[in-house]
Amino acid sequence: MAWGATIVRWLVPGAHSPETPTVNVVLGYESLELYLAREPYLGCTIGRYCNRIANGRFTLDGRVFALTSNDGPHLLHGGVDGFDQRLWDADTTADGVVFRLHSPDGDGGFPGAIDLSTHFALTEDGTLRIDYRATTSATTVVNLTNHSYFNLAGQGHILDHELQLFASRYTPVDATLIPTGMLSPVQGTPLDFTGSPRRIGARIADLASFPGGGYDHNVVIDRDDPHALVTAARLVDPASGRTLWCRTTEPGLQLYTGNWLREGLPVAPPLTSRRYAGVCLETQHYPDSPNQPSFPSTVLRPGEVFRSTTEYQIT
Q: How do residues 150-182 score in pLDDT, each as one tens digit? A: 999 999 999 999 999 999 999 999 999 999 999
Q: What is the pLDDT of residue 34?
A: 87
Q: What is the pTM of this model?
A: 0.96
Residue 99's Cβ-side half-sphere holds a number of Cα atoms within 13 Å equal to 23
Distance, CA of 104 to CA of 162 (rounded, Å): 42
Domain 11-314 matching CATH 3.90.1150.10: the answer reads no
Provide long-range contacts, Cβ within 8 A and 24+ apart, for 97-101. Answer: 99/2, 99/5, 99/45, 101/5
Q: What is the pLDDT of residue 16?
A: 64
Q: What is the pLDDT of residue 196?
A: 92
Backbone angles phi and psi of 240, in degrees to 5: -95, -20
Pairing status of strand 230-237 against strand 162-165: antiparallel
Extract the residue ranges of the chain whose pLDDT is less than 50: none
E strand map for 187-251: 198-199, 216-220, 230-237, 242-248
Q: Say which residues have a Cβ less than 8 Å from residue 150's Cβ, sequence separation at least 6.
A: 25, 26, 158, 235, 244, 278, 279, 280, 281, 312
The full set of domain ranges for the chain reads 11-314
Q: What is the pLDDT of residue 19?
A: 67
Report the chain's C-alpha Rg in angstroms: 19
Whether 291 and 54 have beta carbons less than 8 Å apart is answered as yes
Q: What is the pLDDT of residue 17?
A: 63
Backbone angles phi and psi of 301, in degrees to 5: -115, 155
Pairing status of strand 184-185 against strand 169-170: antiparallel
**CB-based burial label for 82 (10 Å; 0-12, 13-18, 19+):** buried
H-run or E-run covering 33: helix 32-36
Q: Which residues are catalytic?
A: 147, 282
Q: Say which residues have a Cβ less than 8 Å from residue 64's Cβ, sequence separation at least 6.
A: 57, 58
